[in-house]
Amino acid sequence: MASHIRTKVLILSDTHGEDLKRKVTTRADVAIHCGDLTEESKLDEFRSAISQLKSIDAPIKLVIAGNYDFTLDDSVFAKTRDEIKATIDEESITSTYGRIGEARALFEDEDTKAAGVVFLEEGTHEIALPNGALLTVYASPYTPSKSTGWGFQYDPQQAEHRWDIPSSVDLVMTHGPAHGVLDYTEARNRAGSQSLFAAIARARPKLHCFGHIHEAWGAKMVTWRPEVSSEPSHFTDIDNDESVLIESRATLRDRKYDTPDVMEEKAAKRRRYDEQCYWNIDTEVRSGEQTVFVNAAIEGVEEGEQQVPWLVDIDLPFQQR
């Protein structure tokens, strides 16, 4: 008798208050949004994002905040309210952004919960899926940054964030990437968290989903080296010979020295994902040996550009009866 059940996971991130231009109609067992639901963290943006989540054909939709969703971070929002009171009256602030806790309360609405939308706080969660699978998730909205005014950020030069990711998790969903995997910015700097990479290298989940770095949209199957190093990094702990870049924004864009055949191949890929509205990954992931990393940022780099979500098939354990 099989001990696992094949489960479809729809992954998206960084919608920034915009409707999806390509509507995903394929049914998933669970959908995941990795933060930055809004552009300005306004109540109306959250209502629109929740409405969009409700429309996804999946019985469960798991959501975390991103740095743009600063009204979900109570301490940051309280400070921001105090700062803007000098130029904006209290009534306008409240009608636009709500009171502290009001944006979060939208996720507790009975209709929202009935539609399967679940807002996750940082930590480990067990989710019983209607298909009979048990999904164990570690969730965190935090990203490293030296700037202020954004939500759920920390300065790694002051103190590293603590990622308590147990080895029992199937899936890690964070807003930002781990250092070294799908985290290159347009300036060719790596923006991911080193401490997050170390935590994932030790836990080795089947799937790590994130966004934040829009230009690094893509997916990669990482095969780990047998032993975890004392200070894990993408240099020391990834077996690059056995790892595969599944697809990325960079590999889909035309390059200066592409031949006509290569350009047509890339164009065909772009047409295909435009038509099906998502990019599919259906492959075996060896538990404890491999992790599929997925950067699912929807908002692109160019004005009006949208990238497609990912639909990933993974094996999850059955719920205990």
pLDDT, tens digit, 9 for 90 and up, residues 20-43:
998 899 999 999 999 999 999 999
pLDDT digits (tens, 9 = 90+) for 184-229: 998 889 999 999 999 999 999 999 999 999 999 999 999 999 999 9
Asked whether 211 and 297 are in contact (CB, 8 A), the reply is yes
pTM attached to this predicted model: 0.95
Cβ–Cβ under 8 Å, residues 273 and 279: yes
Please give the Cα distance from 64 to 72 (Å, whole number): 10
For residues 124-149, average pLDDT: 94
> Which H or E element spans position 123?
strand 123-128
How many domains does the chain divide into?
1
Q: Which domain holds residue 205?
A: 4-317
E strands along the chain, which residues?
Answer: 4-12, 30-33, 61-63, 117-119, 123-128, 134-140, 143-144, 153-154, 171-174, 207-210, 218-223, 244-248, 279-282, 290-295, 310-317
Amino acid making up residue 39:
E
Q: pLDDT by residue (tens digit) across 60-100?
A: 999 999 999 999 999 999 998 888 887 888 888 899 999 99
The answer to whether residue 155 scores a pLDDT higher than 70 is yes
Pairing state between β 61-63 and 30-33: parallel
Torsion angle, alpha carbons of 205, 211, 11, 272, to 10: -120
Rounded to whole angstroms, how far apart are CA atoms 95 and 97? 6
First to last CA, the chain: 15
Closest by Cα among 115, 135, 133 to 125: 135
State the CATH number of the domain containing residue 266: 3.60.21.10
Backbone angles phi, psi at 198, to 5 degrees: -60, -40
